Amino acid sequence: LLVVIGQFIYFNFFRKDSSGNGGEKSIAVLPFENLSNDVSQEYFSDGVADNILNELSKIQGLKVCGRSSSFQYRGKSIDLQEVGKKLRVATLLVGSLQKHGDQLRINASLIKVEDGYQIWSHQFKKDLKDIFAIQDEIASTIAQKMRVTLNGSGLREESLEAYELCLKGKYYYNKGVPKAVDTAKLFYKSAIELDPNYALAYAGLADCYRLSIRDSSLTINYSLKALSIDSTLGEAWTNIGFVQSHLQRDWAKGLKTLNKALRFSPSYSYAHLFRGNVFFFNGKTKEGINEIEEAINIDPLSVFLSHVLARSYFMSRNYEKAINQANYTLKLHSKYEFGWLWTALSFIEYKQYQKALETLNHLPDDDHDVFGMFPKLPSLSYVHALLGNTHEAEVILEKDILKHPKNYFLQAYVYIALKKYDDAFIKLKVGVEAGDLWATNILLDPRLDPIRSDPRFKELIKLMKFDPSI
């Protein structure tokens, strides 16, 4: 009942218009141009824009474009109207920053996309110690100009050194590759050493550990520490909701936490994404896809969100849409692994096996880790099994088992195609118990269809703890 009430409140009072036309109250914060003549200062100009974006994203009734989309325009010569159209917003915040020693010069302008009209512009010449006040002033001025209410009391004044370390942490985290994320952790930890009550540094660490999937206890612990200092951090609530639902499989509790995250940060695309996943994995495919589309409406150029939508179409058996969305994903990033994977898997369902093999060859080498998975070898083996090339399928599968023993579900699909159902169930059970990410799709995945009537499959479903009340 509490979950139902929470959903009612969220949809009726907090959910934004998702029509995709931007609307009057929508904004993208573009990365501030670094005028410091020092590329090593890019983290600072990025970080200031990022902090303003995060403050604005807390506002109910204001759609704020996600960072992964708006920051794609760093260092590019752009047409503001074209950018606004692609980002689905009505206004843009553009700016530049020059840092010289302890002196700052920041130019910021609020631009109306439709006609290029400059709604507001200001130049700040201040000491570095005034950076917190400058960020607050820009965010509050935008809120005033757009006739919305800025939530909270603004950014807490931190130690300047800790603040810069935190900006460096976020700069490396946003690179998204494991080595850079490890570097981000070091910067966040250094910031905490200087300021043990720095909530954003703890929240940043939680983000880093969420990416590694296997460090769920650290994700929870750092998120809780951040919230003990600042209970309004939507990103921290999102991380907790992700672990509760996706990893601990307490779906209702996770959904409740994600609803709370969206009350504090209604424009946080990952809260919408994980909320959509909760619905989707529990069999509410329409509701799930709607929420994932809302995440994309906020962050329309995110390659990760685009691939998740392709996955959702594939798992809900709409293979034509899956291929189209996967192709769009590849337009955003031509080497993105899951763009090729969802295309290949959809070709398989159409029994276009040769096309599937050709597509799988676009995947990186078989030692490439994609979110803790190594999809190339078992996917190739799966196609050969379906083609009746049993020997070749088994040779590739054995190679994958030796190299990647934790590819539980990916290897189980091959056993199913080979009709070795006992072996498949052994892999599936271990995968469910180990938290294999493919297990979350177990209600929907077409590759599991041949074994759905087996009583052992029903036992696997029980282990996933899906919640019919969602």
Q: By the 8 A CB rule, do 69 and 302 touch?
A: yes
Number of H helices and E strands in the chain, helices first, is 22, 6
DSSP state of 146: T
Query: All domains of the chain, ordered by start, with CATH?
Result: 1-156 (3.40.50.10070)
Q: What is the pLDDT along the chain (470 residues), one digit of tens a residue?
A: 444 444 444 444 334 443 344 556 999 999 999 998 888 899 999 999 999 999 999 999 999 999 999 999 998 888 999 999 999 999 999 999 999 999 999 999 999 999 999 999 999 999 999 999 999 999 999 999 998 887 755 556 678 999 999 999 999 999 988 899 999 999 999 999 999 999 999 999 999 999 877 679 999 999 999 999 999 999 999 999 999 999 999 999 999 999 999 999 999 999 999 999 999 999 999 999 999 999 999 999 999 999 999 999 999 999 999 999 999 999 999 999 999 999 999 999 999 999 999 999 999 876 666 666 789 999 999 999 999 999 999 999 999 999 999 999 999 999 999 999 999 999 999 999 999 989 999 999 999 999 999 999 999 999 999 999 99
> Which structure tokens are listed for 256?
């409740």
Q: Is 78 exposed, middle or buried (0-12, 13-18, 19+ CB in 10 A)?
A: middle
Q: Give the pTM.
A: 0.90
Q: How far apart are CA 234 and CA 402, in angstroms?
A: 41
Vertex 278 angle, CA 275 and 279, to 5°: 95
Q: By the 8 A CB rule, do 360 and 383 touch?
A: yes
3-state SS of 173-200 is HCCCCHHHHHHHHHHHHHHHHHCCCCHH
Q: By the 8 A CB rule, do 87 and 70 touch?
A: yes
DSSP state of 151: P
Q: By the 8 A CB rule, do 259 and 275 touch?
A: yes
Find the distance separating the first CA and the last CA of the chain, reported in whole Å. Answer: 10
> Which structure tokens are listed for 287?
């509701």
